[in-house]
């Protein structure tokens, strides 16, 4: 079988850092248990709102950094530009690698103006939304066109990357090349993907062949009978794609 490798990311990212594990657990103690059990097979973690509300969030960020892991702060900052800029400025001092920002041009521009070494990822369209949801929200365009429009604006405004469903990545790469980091959530590694709140999903290989730089995986690892084996399987599949 000849593999479609034409749109594989060429960015100098270590293969084992292309997988980002979503630490969607109730608190920092549970999160650290996951990190410890997975060991060196996961090198990049995403910390979202549930952990933020549990307390100890930035202590966990610091502990992950001390362990040599990379950290993606996924809090989707959305507020008036000055407030978002203040939040990003504070976060830039915390040692995180990525953060997500939601909103219009002024919000994205304000975040990028103060990001320092922090990489700002613009949110395009949540993977939990489909075309029907977008129409209900009042958007009179198809999702791929909206994602591409937002990605273009993010690039022009100084964002380092975007978060996008894998279903839109190929079109993004064909139009924008390698200029943006593209992080793809909603990854479902098994062929028989379970029903959940993610409506626009992709398999591991599908996402990377479409041009993803990183994939975000949560439940398929956390809910597995053997989470470490599940992470190992995904890392092996990534290594085969990228020759690691």
Q: Name every residue whose Cβ is closer than 8 Å to that of residue 231 and which is 6 or more positions away in sequence.
A: 19, 21, 38, 41, 42, 221
Sign of CA dihedral 231, 232, 238, 241: negative
Identify the active-site residue in 46, 76, 115, 199. 76
Catalytic (active site) residue 199? no
The tokens for 58 are 């930035």
Strands (E), 18-144: 19-22, 44-47, 70-77, 98-101, 119-123
Q: Which string of b and e fits 102-122 if b means at least 16 CB within 10 Å?
A: bbeeebbbbbbebbeebbbbb
Q: Is residue 53 a contact partner of residue 80, using CB atoms and an 8 Å limit?
A: no
Rounded Cα distance between 83 and 72, Å, is 20
- The set of catalytic residues is 76
């Amino acid at each position: 079988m000849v593999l479609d490798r034409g749109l594989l990311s060429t960015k100098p990212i270590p293969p084992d850092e292309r997988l980002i594990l979503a630490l969607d657990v109730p608190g920092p103690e549970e999160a650290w248990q996951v990190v410890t059990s997975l060991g060196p097979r996961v090198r990049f973690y995403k910390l979202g709102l549930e952990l933020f509300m549990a307390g100890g969030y930035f202590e966990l960020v610091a502990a992950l950094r001390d362990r040599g892991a990379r950290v993606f702060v996924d809090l989707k900052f959305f507020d008036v530009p000055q407030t978002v800029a203040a939040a990003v400025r504070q976060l830039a001092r915390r040692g995180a690698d990525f953060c997500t920002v939601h909103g219009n041009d002024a919000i994205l521009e304000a975040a990028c103006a103060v990001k320092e070494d922090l990489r700002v990822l613009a949110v395009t369209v949540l993977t939990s939304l489909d075309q029907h949801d977008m129409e209900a929200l009042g958007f009179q365009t198809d999702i791929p066109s909206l994602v591409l429009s937002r990605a273009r604006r993010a690039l022009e405004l100084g964002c380092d990357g975007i978060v996008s469903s894998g279903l839109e990545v190929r079109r993004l790469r064909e139009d924008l090349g390698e200029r943006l980091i593209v992080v793809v959530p909603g990854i479902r590694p098994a062929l028989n993907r379970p029903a959940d709140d993610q409506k626009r999903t992709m398999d591991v290989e599908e996402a990377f062949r479409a041009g993803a730089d990183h994939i975000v995986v949560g439940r398929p690892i956390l809910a597995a009978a053997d989470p470490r084996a599940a992470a190992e399987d995904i890392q092996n599949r990534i290594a085969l794609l990228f020759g690691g």
